[in-house]
Amino acid sequence: MDVLVTGGAGFVGSAVVRALLADGHRVRVLDALLPEVHGRAALPRLPAGVTLRQGDVRDAELLRGMLAGVDAVVHQAAMVGLGVDLDDLPAYAAHNDLGTAVLLAAMARAGVRDLVLAGSMVVYGEGGYRCAAHGPVAPAPRRPADLEAGRFEPPCPRCGAFLTPETVTEDAPLDPRSVYAVTKAAQEQLAAAWARACGGRVLTLRYHNVYGPGMHLHTPYAGVAALFRGCLERGEAPRVFEDGGQRRDFVHVDDVAAANAAALRALARRPAGSARAFNIGSGEVRTVGELAFELARATGGPEPVVTGDFRLGDVRHITADSRRARAELGWHPRVPFREGLRAFALG
């Protein structure tokens, strides 16, 4: 089929383009090529046969031409990360939410009814937790005073006891705790409303912490793996926030790309007017400190420094239960953590 990939020149988007081509699709790419993401280098190279148009998803006239003859859209375009400060708030809302709204309206006008949406695990806020006395609980946002005192683990909101972190399923309530997280939750809700209104079909892939070749290392909007790798490339020790015990699920970009291809195949089996979300993670629990030490070991670089610093928008623990994607999309992660991380570190 003919597929439009927004943000298809980016880190994840370009891997998705390659996966779709391998599946036999014809692909066109729309990418704003934001300097915050791509720097000021020349246009990125994409595989032969892929049409790349530099432009913004908020440009309705441009979208009209890009959507002509398209069967489905894979929407990767977004500003990512926690940003620099609250001055970024208008840009996040404009690119992520207004951009998605303009795209959905253009798809409705063009008669394009199938959408794979790049979501994020940040929509959950904290992950799943269990209190020995009260069972499953949702901890409140962590308080600055606790973080400043080095009390990083969220307590039970009912009795204050220590909690056991668990994996989070797609049925968990959304509790976005940063500007970026709010915009990603809004993207999902806009897409679901669009599907109901026009008989569309949406599959949202909630990515967990993606890493791999092609990550942009020198931007404040990068993920933690890129930040650590950038430090090591400069000969600096990675700086690990909190105590390094934050639990995450690190998933290789090739596995994420394969999940997009699987979701596109699965759309045909979905009923009109439906929206469904899937966690896309490795299924393995790792810590941020473990990531930093593994990268340092692989590169032979300086040992990480655990700083005790924190960012108020960060959550303590969030790891995926990805069984739904395995059962319904037939998708399974293939890249082992240490093998993928070693290739990323040395690439």
Q: Which residues are catalytic?
A: 180
- 135 sits in the region (left: phi over 0; alpha: psi -120 to 50; else beta) called left
Length of the chain as a residue count: 347
Question: Is there a contact between 81 and 10 (Cβ–Cβ < 8 Å)?
Answer: no
How far apart CA 78 and CA 37 sit, in angstroms, is 10
Return the structure tokens found at 134: 């009260």
Return the structure tokens found at 295: 């990268």
Instruction: Classify residue 56 by its DSSP letter.
Output: -
Q: What is 311-337 written as a DSSP string?
A: -TT--SB--B--HHHHHHT-----S-H
Using CB atoms within 10 Å of the CB of residue 235, give its burial: 0 to 12 exposed, 13 to 18 middle, 19+ buried. Answer: exposed
> Could you give the C-alpha distances from 174 to 171, 261, 302, in angstroms and in order?
9, 26, 38
In the block, residue with structure tokens 């994840």: 12
**3-state secondary structure (DSSP) of residue 131:** strand
